[in-house]
Amino acid sequence: MTSSFRFSLHATDGKARTGLISTPRGDVRTPAFMPVGTAATVKAMMPESVRDTGADILLGNTYHLMLRPTAERVNRLGGLHKFMNWDRPILTDSGGFQVMSLNDLRKLKEEGVTFKSHIDGSKHHLTPERSMEIQRLLGSDIVMCFDECTPYPVEEKASLASMQLSMRWAQRSRDAFGDRPGYALFGIQQGSVFRDQRAESAQKLRDVGFEGYAIGGLAVGEGQGAMFDVLNYAPDMLPEDKPRYLMGVGKPDDIVGAVKRGVDMMDCVLPSRSGRTGQVFTRRGVINIKNARHLDDPRPLDEDCTCPTCRKYSRAYLHHVFRSQEIISSMLLTWHNLHYYQELMAAMRGAISAGTFAQFEADFLTMRAQGDIEPI
């Protein structure tokens, strides 16, 4: 255990990196996937089960928690870790992304954003200073700068203005965060798909100085091709000795492509949300458990998966409980999906350490291309 926040790089293979983030609440092995615990819970999962899948860190959403149950209440109850029974590291977003997506319900100014709650229509104000205060009240280990997530597609000029506003907010976030040993503040690079803007943003963030750097404004509808184009250069603009976090990504093949391009951390609702909609991720691609082909199938989702769902339940059972809208369906499918994501991260960490990432990627793509096992 350490009393400070540290990042150490252990091995690289091409641009892919593996290392360790050390925090007073525990270590995070990178590349890391962070399950999303929007409202102080990873839906359908006990925190102990999330840990069993191999997760070292969770993501919490400032926007949701500030509205309900409020950051002040969480703080009075001992902080988010105690409140939700997760004693390992937590990263919180700044609330910016969700607030920006409210569109009609928000007003953006230099000072910050005024918006109406989607829950009860009540009026709220979010600024870099208030976002830092909320994330401190929650007790988040990794705090994100308050920024404007630039929409996509966007005109070059509008993207520039948005990025520059985010960079002014990054300085204000840094000033408001203050000196908090053991906790980290991450800056967020913006600039959409414009290389010179990404470079300007990275330089401004480096001038301020952060414990880690995120790549924002991707996974917002640009598609994998455009995202990889940006990732071909954006991570290289950020300091080599600090963690790089790609926000809101993604599908398994997005994740492998991002790690290949030098990303260390990611988060996405996909494995947990898909667990509730009957979408299952396996080494052979995506399975839709709703499909009638599973009705009489006694085989597990994946013969080689070691998760409790695959060890103890058949496709036929999972199909049945999904169609019957039983709660256990969300539990079992989410568990498998999160397990699959964490196994994927572990495999990549191993491949980078061994210097075999190219072979890993080739095998990953070949396996997926085979598609699901033949129906019974």
Q: Which residues are part of the catalytic machinery?
A: 93, 267
- Find out whether 49 and 337 touch, Cβ atoms under 8 Å: no
* Sole window of 74-82, 136-144, 289-297, 298-306 interacting with Zn ion (rule: CB under 5 A): 298-306
Residues in the interface with Zn ion (CB under 5 A) total: 5
Cβ 308 to Zn ion shortest distance, Å: 8
- Find out whether 135 and 143 touch, Cβ atoms under 8 Å: yes
Tell me if 305 contacts Zn ion by CB under 5 A. Answer: yes
* Sole window of 28-36, 71-79, 297-305, 314-322 interacting with Zn ion (rule: CB under 5 A): 297-305
The closest of 268, 272, 337, 286 to 308, measured between CA atoms, is: 337
Which runs of E-coded beta strand occur in 177-270? Answer: 184-189, 212-215, 244-246, 265-268
Count other Cβ atoms within 10 Å, centred on residue 196: 10
Tell me if 310 contacts Zn ion by CB under 5 A. Answer: yes
- Residue closer to Zn ion (CB basis): 120 or 303: 303
Tell me if 246 contacts Zn ion by CB under 5 A. Answer: no
- Please state whether the peptide bond connecting residue 31 to the residue before it is cis, i.e. omega within 30 degrees of 0: yes
* Residue 212 β-bridge partners: 186
The contact pattern for Zn ion, residues 314-343, with x = CB under 5 A and - = no contact, is: ----------------------x-------
Span 257-296, contacts to Zn ion by CB under 5 A: none
- Residue closer to Zn ion (CB basis): 90 or 301: 301
Q: Exposed e or buried b for every residue in 197-230, given b needs 16+ CB within 10 A? A: bbbbbbebbbebebbbbbbbbbbbebebeebbeb
The closest of 217, 143, 235 to 186, measured between CA atoms, is: 143
- Residue closer to Zn ion (CB basis): 5 or 341: 341
Q: How far, rounded to the nearest angstrom, does the alpha carbon of residue 176 sit from its chain's CA centroid?
A: 24
Binding residues: 93-97, 147, 190, 217, 305, 307, 310, 336
Cβ 336 to Zn ion shortest distance, Å: 4
Cβ 307 to Zn ion shortest distance, Å: 3
Q: Which residues bind Zn ion (CB under 5 A)?
A: 305, 307, 309-310, 336
